[in-house]
Amino acid sequence: MSSTLGVLLKQLDPSLTIAMVERLDHIAQESTSGWNNAGTGHAAYCELNYTPETAEGKINASKAFDINASFEVSTQFWAYLVEQGALPEPQSFINPTPHVSFVWGENNVNYLRKRFEALSNSAQFAGMEYSEDPEVLKQWMPLVMEGRNPNEKVAGTRVSWGTDVNFGALARHMIEYSQRAGNFDLYLGHEVSAIKRQGIDWLVTAKDKHSTTPLELSARFVFLGAGGAALLLLQKSGVDESLGYGGFPVSGQWLVCKNPDIVKQHLAKVYGKAAIGAPPMSVPHLDTRIIDGEHALLFGPFAGFTTKFLKLGSFFDLFASLRPSNLIPMLKVGLTSFDLIKYLITEVLQTRKSRMVALREYYPQAQDHDWSLAFAGQRVQIIKKDPKTGGKLEFGTEVVAAKDGSLAALLGASPGASVAVTAMLQVIEKCFADQLKTSAWQTRIKTMIPSYGQSLTEDAELLKQVRQHSLTTLKIIPPTA
pLDDT at 293 over 90: no
Cα→Cα distances 314→34, 152, 307, 309, Å: 22, 46, 8, 7
Dist CA 114 CA 283 (whole Å): 19
Q: Helices (DSSP H) in 89-207: which residue ranges?
A: 106-120, 134-140, 142-145, 167-181
Average pLDDT of 376-403? 88
N-term to C-term CA, the chain: 31
* Residue 346, amino acid: T
Q: How far is CA 192 from the centre of its chain?
A: 24
pLDDT in tens, 128-180: 999 999 999 999 999 999 999 999 999 999 999 999 999 999 999 999 999 99
Of 414 and 49, the structure prediction assigns the larger pLDDT to: 49
Residue 43's alpha-carbon distances to 74, 241, 273, in angstroms, are 10, 30, 17
Strand order in the sheet with 201-208: 190-198, 201-208, 215-219
What is the length of the chain? 481
pTM: 0.93
What does each C-alpha distance from 348 to 8, 60, 222, 259, 355 come to in angstroms?
40, 31, 37, 27, 11
Mean of the pLDDT values across residues 28-40? 89
- Cα 301–chain centre separation: 14
pLDDT of residue 282 exceeding 70 = no
